[in-house]
Amino acid sequence: MLNEFIANEAVVYLLSFVLAIGVGLVLNGDSRRAGIGSMLITAVFVIVVSTRGSDAPLAVPLYVVTLGIVAVLSAVRRYSDSSLLVGEPYWRKVMLMFAHGGKIRSATLAQREENRQRNAV
C-alpha cells in the first residue's frame, strides 16, 4: 500500500516539498548538529529519489529550491534586527540576505556580542 502511495508522482513532489520546508527550518538553528543533520537528511533524500528517479524527475530540484527559499526566509526573520537591514522593505531584506547573507550574519552576531558585553558591565 505504501509503495502505491509513493509511486504517485504528485505525492512524491508533495513529500519533497514538505521535507524541504522542515529541513530548511532546522537548518536555521545555531548548532553545528542542526547543520550536519540537515545535510545528512538531504543526502539520504537525494540518494533515495535518485534510485526512483523515473517516477518523479523534478523531486530533487523542487527539494533544493524549496530548501534554499525557506533557509533564506528564515534567516531574514532571524537577522532582521541587524543594523544592515533596519529600515529596509521585507523583499529587499530577502534579496540582501540572499546576496550577502554571510556578511549580514557576521555583522549581526558581532553586534549582539557587543551588546551582551555592554549589558554585562
CA atoms of 1 and 66, how far apart (whole Å)? 28
33, 64, 71, 82, 83 from 18: Cα distances, Å: 21, 12, 14, 29, 33
Q: Of 59, 72, 58, which Cα lies nearest the Cα of 27?
A: 72
Q: Of 99, 45, 57, 105, which Cα lies nearest the Cα of 81?
A: 105
Q: What is the pTM of this model?
A: 0.77
Name the residue ranges covered by the structural domains of the chain: 1-78, 80-121
- Residue 109 C-alpha cell reads as 552576531
Note down pLDDT in tens along the chain; length 121 residues.
556 666 677 887 888 888 888 888 887 666 788 888 888 888 888 887 877 666 778 888 888 899 889 889 988 988 888 888 889 999 999 999 999 988 998 888 888 888 888 888 7
